[in-house]
Structure 1
Amino acid sequence: MARWEPDAAGRLREAAMQLYVERGFDQTTVADIAERAGVTSRTFFRHFTDKREVLFNGTDLLRTGIAEALAGAPADTSPIATVALALESTTGFVGRDHAHSVRRQRIIDAHAELRERELIKMADLGAALAAGLRERGVPEPDATLAAETGIVAFRVAFASWIADPSPGLLSLIRSTLARLTALTASGRSGQVEGRP
């Protein structure tokens, strides 16, 4: 087997996805993935820490994109509008390949361990959003509230996109945030102050 493997990470990702669908996540080993990709297990571990990471290794790119979008937002942008800009910036990465995203989500949904890892990833992105807002001068608890609200809206939009990609992920993020704004505005009438 050749020592230099062009796009070994991409081949490993595709091999893993195929095997997770064919055999199931639990029944697939790192050795199986490496063999399918035509590389060694050592090569696998140069790219991924474990077989779960194949499904989650894009988190650093998302975090970087979010940080750049936060830094580039105009200074007078409201916290929730800044979060919206940051989330919209992820669609170039997350919303590229619907078929891949559907396959990945089905694998995750079928395994409690992977669902937990997905929630950890979302919490990490929420923390990155909140940190970016604090750097922009948004105080607590507003920074965390805006960030976590944005992550929930993103998750709802993403689930809608998985079910029906036709509106596009960007459009769904925007419409989900708009619906959230409408819900909070309409919920004020007739409510006792301090109560939901």
Structure 2
Amino acid sequence: MPRSGAEARRRLQQAALELYRERGFDRTTTAEIAARAGLNERTFFRHFPDKREVLFDGESDLRASLTRAVAEAPDGLQPLDLLLHAFREVEHILEDNRPFAEPRLQVIAATPALRERDLAKAASIAEAVAQALRQRGVADRLADLAAHTGWAAFHQAAQAWIDDPSQSLDVHLLQAFDDLRALCLTTPAGDSGR
């Protein structure tokens, strides 16, 4: 038996991930996840409200760490630079969890119900980041745009890191923000400098 709640959660997450990869999300039950983890179904529901949430544990910690990093970033940074600083502060969360993150992303990509949950979680994080930017004095409209754009760049960097582990997440993150800046400087075709 697991000695701690954290150990039980980890075992449930690993069991769920294995079963989702073997059978698919839709064909896996919470009872099967609990059995694979050597626990009972009641224990599963003490830790997770449903079988989707087992793959999204840690999202609230990421959101809290990210909003704290925005709040504690140095003064004088422009919104995107502020976000880059904050994402660099929390990238260790993904790096520490890489063995779980890679197969997790594959399961999510293959499962519409999980993609929907992933989008809802991303929207929640982006809104929390936007609120943190507003608290730093960034105007509402710019805070929303920066938060959603910054989260997209962070997500792009994380996927690039999963696809190409030869470089650190930090290298991919810096590249994503450089690409974002380059997009902002690019003049659209047919635009004569209006």
TM-score norm. by structure 1 comes to 0.91
- The answer on whether the counterparts of 1:83 and 1:150 sit within 8 Å (CA) in structure 2 is yes
Gaps of 5+ in 2: none
- Which residue matches 2:140? 140
2:100 is aligned to 100
Residues 33-53 of structure 1: per-residue CA shift (max 9 Å, x gap): 111111111111111111101
Deviation at 1:189, TM superposition (A): 9.1
Q: What is the CA–CA distance in structure 1 between the aligned matches of 2:78 and 2:61, rounded to whole Å?
A: 24
> Structure 1 109/192 Cα, relative in aligned 2: closer, same or farther at 3 Å?
same
**Do residues 74 (structure 1) and 74 (structure 2) align?**
yes
The CA distance in 2 between the partners of 1:74 and 1:190, in whole Å, is: 39
Aligned equivalent of 2:128: 128
Question: Counterpart amino acid of 1:182?
Answer: A
| Cα distance in 1, alignment partners of residues 15 and 176 from structure 2 | 34
Please state how far the C-alpha of 1:99 moved relative to its aligned partner.
3.4
| Secondary structure at the counterpart of residue 141 of structure 1 | helix
Cα distance, 1:100 vs. partner?
A: 2.0
Identify the residue that residue 8 of structure 1 maps to in structure 2: 8
The corresponding residue for 1:56 is 56
Between the aligned partners of 1:27 and 1:188, the Cα distance in structure 2 is 47
Match of 2:44 in 1: 44
Q: Could you say which residue in structure 1 is the equivalent of 2:158?
A: 158
Distance 1:180 1:87 in 2: 14
Which residue of structure 2 lines up, in the alignment, with residue 112 of structure 1? 112
SS for the counterpart of 2:96 is coil
Shift of 1:131: 0.2
- Give the drift of 1:190: 6.9
Displacement, 1:69?
Answer: 0.4
CA deviation profile, 1:124-146 (whole Å, cap 9, x unmatched): 11101100000001112111111
The CA deviation string for residues 42-92 of structure 1, in whole angstroms up to 9 with x for no partner, is 111111111101111111111111121011111211111111122222311
Q: Which residue of 2 aligns with 1:184?
A: 184
Write the deviation string for residues 134-172 of structure 1: whole angstroms up to 9, x where unpaired. 000111211111111101111211221121111111211
Aligned to 1:22: 22
Tell me, yes or no, if the aligned pair for 1:5 and 1:39 is still in contact at 8 Å. no
Secondary structure of the 1:165 match is: coil
Structure 1, unaligned runs of 5 or more: none
State the alpha-carbon separation in 1 of the partners of residues 117 and 89 from structure 2.
22
Query: 1:108 Cα shift?
Result: 0.5
Per-residue deviation, 1:5: 4.2
TM-score, with length taken from structure 2: 0.92
Taking the aligned partners of 1:192 and 1:5, their CA distance within structure 2 comes to 67
Equivalent-residue separation in structure 2 for 1:45 and 1:71 (angstroms): 34
